[in-house]
Amino acid sequence: MRPFILVRFLFFLLFPLLTTAFAAQPTISVKASVDKAFVTVGDRFQFKIEIRHDPRIDILTPDPVKRLRDFEIKSTRDIPPRKESGAVVEGKIFTLTSYTLGEYVIDPIAIRYRDIDGKNKEIKTNKLYITVESIDKSRSVKKDIRDIKSVVSLPSQLLKYILMILGGILFLLLTGIAWLFFKRRDLLMSFFAPPLKPHEEAFQSLLRLQDSGLLAKGNVREYYFRMSEILKKYFEKRYGFKALERTNTEILDEFFRIEIATDPFKIIQQFFDSSDLVKFAKFIPDPLEIQKDYKTAWSIVEKTQPLAEMEGEKSEVRQ
């Protein structure tokens, strides 16, 4: 009798300790689910992993991408952690779709976690089955995807018209080039010719001004305005500053800053003084003075062109 009493005594003594020890073990469970097991081609469905665990357990980020390789992942979002009956509930929701008919299996996904002792462990979700059906329920999997059609050949008559149109366009293009070559050879050559250098362009502009007929018509002020503009355009391209937007004084200040040679500087200053009298003081010079100012403008371009160009022109003259 005494042994039985002793066993009962030990049982009642140790039972609270055993239950406390088992209760102290942290718990964790996982569940995988989908909002619909039968979907049509291109239809989206949600795959959810829900983890319920003890607050003392750390969940490591699950990576189920390999298990979802049969589907296209459209989006992913986390389930915000929440507490239920002393446990933490969290997880992920994946929006998936498929464009291929068939029956698929989402194998168990391993969820790694760290227990209260700092050890890494894992627990797996349940297996799921998904069926992707055709939008037309009467069609089988083999009939849903068709082979690529062969290349459609154009009717011979249509091909003939296309070739005639292309031939006509080519004929017109060649005729236009021939007309330009024989009738407007100068225009065609100017199109393909290399760009003029600043001093070459200035010389050509001065020659065109001389042949413009402005002096014969009595437009002396217009003549001087154009002559000044030709020089300012030349200064812009030769020295790289915006001369057309500046006054004569500002241009001279710029030349002083870049330390232009004394001789060209004085000639430019004299030309500006003489042209301003005609442009703004309404002074009418005689033909000899006009010719002198024209030669001064030509001399300015000659004296300020790059030295290499001047030496090249001198050598050509000697030859």
Query: What pLDDT does 225 receive?
Result: 93
Q: What is the mean pLDDT of residues 212-236?
A: 92
Length of the chain: 319
Sheet holding 58-59, edge to edge: 58-59, 110-114, 120-124
Comparing 7-16, 86-95, 173-182, the range with the smallest average pLDDT is 7-16
Q: What is the mean pLDDT of residues 285-311?
A: 85
Percent of the chain predicted with pLDDT > 70: 76
The per-residue pLDDT for range 260-270, each reduced to its tens digit, is: 888 888 899 99
Query: What pLDDT does 196 receive?
Result: 86
The per-residue pLDDT for range 177-195, each reduced to its tens digit, is: 777 777 666 555 655 667 8
- CA gyration radius for the chain? 47
Which pLDDT band holds residue 319 (cuts at 50, 70, 90)? very low
Q: What is the DSSP string of 231-257?
A: HHHHHHHHH-S--TTS-HHHHHHHHHH
Measuring CA to CA, which residue among 203, 232, 213 is closest to residue 299? Answer: 203
The more confidently predicted of residues 123 and 140 is: 123
Which pLDDT band holds residue 146 (cuts at 50, 70, 90)? low
Q: What is the mean pLDDT of residues 126-149?
A: 68
87 within 8 A of 27, measured Cβ to Cβ: yes
Q: What is the mean pLDDT of residues 186-215?
A: 82
Mean confidence (pLDDT) of the chain: 80
Query: What pLDDT does 25 receive?
Result: 57
